[in-house]
């Protein structure tokens, strides 16, 4: 079975450019999570959706970051404009409804902003 | 929000030695997960614990969740260089949110 699929796997972009990271959750999962991993701060939860609705975006660092989930099978995390300090690994994860507590992670999107 | 503290932050051991990594929560855990991450790679799921007092093993790695479900330990027996990496605990506090611990970097010297 296909797991959580993220794209791109690696991206190098110039400061000021818009970056869009994509995630396809596992079919049937109704919760989706975006995480950012940096050396300084470890793995941080940015935002999570339940049934395509953003539930908690308190982890989103600033207004340059936005996330959408237009349907149950697709989500995007956008950074506009990007800055060098946004360089990190961004993980997407999905899970089954509450009470079935298994979460699956994508392989991550490695972002470098120069 | 959920807070998960891991200790130690980093660990360097000689090959063949045993080691333990701890994960402590400020709240009762709904589920506790252990992951391993090799440098520059994605997250590898190791095991999940749900019940107080539960213990699971996979090869030379054993994880326990204490009775109060606020602390978990990961124990590696006879460590090998292949065990090197970052170990992360993660917790589900209500079934809706999932947070990671601060991480433990493990180096195994041959």
Residue with tokens 């509450």: A98
Neighbours of B102 (CB within 10 A): 16
pLDDT at position A40 is 76
Per-residue confidence band for A62, with pLDDT thresholds at 50, 70 and 90: confident
Whether residue A9 has pLDDT greater than 70: yes
Q: Is A87 on the interface with B (CB under 8 A)?
A: no
Mean pLDDT within A20-36:
93
Of all residues in chain A, what percent carry a pLDDT higher than 70?
Answer: 94
Minimal Cβ distance to B99: which of A45, A95, A107: A45
Average pLDDT, chain A: 90
Higher pLDDT, A11 or B95: A11
3-state SS class at B92: strand
Which phi-psi region, left, alpha or beta, contains residue B32 (left: φ > 0; alpha: ψ -120 to 50)?
beta
Per-residue confidence band for A19, with pLDDT thresholds at 50, 70 and 90: very high
Mean pLDDT within A47-73:
92
- Interface test mutation site (partner B, options A3, A4, A42, max chain B beta carbons within 10 A): A42
pLDDT at position A103 is 78
Q: Please provide the distance, in angstroms rounded to a whole number, between the alpha carbons at the two ends of chain B.
A: 40
Q: What is the DSSP letter of B95?
A: S
Mean pLDDT within A96-107:
70
Give Dmax (Cα) for chain A: 43
Q: How many CB pairs under 8 A join A and B?
A: 51
Exposure class string for B20-33: b at 16+ Cβ within 10 A, else e: ebbbbbeeebbbbb
Mean pLDDT within B19-47:
86
The whole-angstrom distance between residue A28's C-alpha and the CA centroid of its chain comes to: 18
Residues in chain B within 8 Å Cβ distance of A108: 42-43
């Amino acid at each position: 079975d296909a797991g959580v699929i993220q794209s791109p796997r690696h991206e190098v972009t110039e400061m000021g450019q818009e970056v869009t990271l994509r995630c396809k959750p596992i079919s049937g999962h109704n919760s989706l999570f975006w995480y950012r991993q940096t050396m300084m701060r470890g793995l941080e939860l940015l935002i999570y959706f339940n049934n395509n609705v953003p539930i908690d975006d308190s982890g989103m660092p600033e207004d340059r970051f936005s996330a959408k989930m237009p349907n149950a099978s697709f989500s995007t995390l956008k950074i506009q404009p990007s800055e060098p300090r946004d360089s990190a690994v961004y993980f997407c994860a999905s899970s089954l409804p509450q009470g079935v507590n298994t979460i699956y992670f994508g392989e991550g999107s490695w972002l470098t902003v120069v | 929000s959920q807070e998960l503290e891991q200790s130690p932050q980093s660990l360097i051991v000689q090959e063949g030695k045993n080691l333990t990594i701890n994960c402590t929560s400020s709240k009762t855990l709904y589920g506790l997960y252990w992951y391993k991450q090799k440098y520059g790679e994605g997250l590898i799921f190791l095991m999940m614990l749900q019940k107080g007092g539960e213990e699971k093993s996979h090869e030379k790695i054993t994880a326990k969740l204490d009775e109060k479900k606020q602390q978990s330990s990961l124990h590696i027996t006879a460590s090998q260089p292949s065990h090197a990496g970052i170990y992360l605990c993660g917790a589900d506090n209500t079934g809706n949110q999932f947070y990671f611990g601060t991480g433990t970097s493990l180096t195994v010297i041959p």
